[in-house]
Amino acid sequence: MKILVCMKQVPPKDAPLKLNEAGTWIREDVSYEVNEPDAFALEEALRQKEKHSGEVVVITAGPARAQQVLREALAKGADRAIHLEDAAFVGLDAFNTAGAFAAAIKDEQFDLIFTGLQSDDCGFAQTGVILAELLGWPHATIIMQIEKTEGGIKVKRELESGYFQFVEMPLPAVLTIQSGINKLRYATLIGIKQAKNKPLRKVALAELGPAITANSQKIERMYVPQKTKKTEYLEGSSAEIAKKLVEKLKDEIRVL
């Protein structure tokens, strides 16, 4: 099986974020890591390859810093990487990002494409599904299990409130992967060493040409959401906080 994994670099969940001057995005001087569901998507691709042999290719769209995500993926066992390198990719909507991926892989023949089910920054939850439509492939979302079958694959879709559903589908197909589908591996020292010699193809924005058009949705402004609830902050030493909280639990919340 030849599998492409689409990955994105995002700020860590507990990173302190600041707005840029224009108030349209965050200030970029933060640390970054791989979008969590994408890490699970990579792990799943590596496991499928271990079972059925084949190739795992990773792709990202982002500025130079995003290469780190690809390097880590190569160190974990991906065979090669594609970097759509341009700072402009950060501002693309899901349609354009999917279009860029589709254009970058037009000469390749994948059996499966994995994406994380959504990103921790924009949270569109759309790129994988749009990519499937652009390629004319079937897709399934929020996947928790993948098995190869005679004619294709059988996947387990997560539904709301603890429900699931198996879906059989032909290949090639696009799957969006849910966090927790597997247990992540760590890169080994030898893996990190080998990664240095693995191929990494860079693609410039200009090469993708007409695949990228004006965004059809635009962030007019970004801001810290207004608090609607009155919250009481407890301060002091841990002992003081504990005392105040217990009083509240007893007298106001009345559960003690």
Partner 1 sequence: MSETILVVVEQREGKLNRVSWETLVAGQSLAAEMGWTLEAAVAGNGVSAIAGEVAAKKVSKIHALESPGFSPYTPEGFSAGLKQFISAKQPRLVLMPHTYQVRDFVPKLATAMGRTVISDCIGYRKEGDKLLFTRQMFQGKFAADVSFNCDPPWFVTFQNGAFRGDRVEAGASAAPVESVNVDIPQGTIRNKPQEVFKEAKQAVDLTQAEIIVSVGRGIKEQKHIELAKQLADALGGEIAASRPICDSGWLPMDRQIGSSGQTVAPKLYLALGISGAIQHIVGMKGARSVVAINKDHEAPIFEIADVAVVGNLFDVVPALIEEVKKMKSSA
The residue ranges that bind ligand FAD (CB under 6 A) are: 13-14, 117-118, 142
18: partner contacted, choices partner 1, ligand FAD, none (Cβ within 5-8 A by kind) = none
SS3 7: strand
SS3 48: helix
219: partner contacted, choices ligand FAD, partner 1, none (Cβ within 5-8 A by kind) = partner 1
DSSP class of residue 235 equals -
CB of 236 to ligand FAD, least distance (A): 16
By beta-carbon proximity to ligand FAD, the closer residue of 15 and 222 is: 15
- Among 64, 87, 204, 219, the residue binding partner 1 under the rule CB under 8 A is 219
Look up residue 250 and give its two tokens.
């007893």
How many Cα atoms sit within 13 Å of 25 on the Cβ side?
13
Instruction: For the segment 178-207, give every residue that binds partner 1 (CB under 8 A).
Output: 179-180
- Could you give the C-alpha distances from 63 to 16, 84, 162, 237, in angstroms and in order? 21, 8, 38, 44
Instruction: For the segment 141-180, give every residue that binds partner 1 (CB under 8 A).
Output: 141-142, 158-170, 179-180
The binding track of 45-84 with respect to partner 1, each residue x by CB under 8 A or -, is: ----------------------------------------
- Could you give the C-alpha distances from 181 to 41, 155, 216, in angstroms and in order? 8, 11, 33
Residue 184 burial (CB count, 10 A): 13
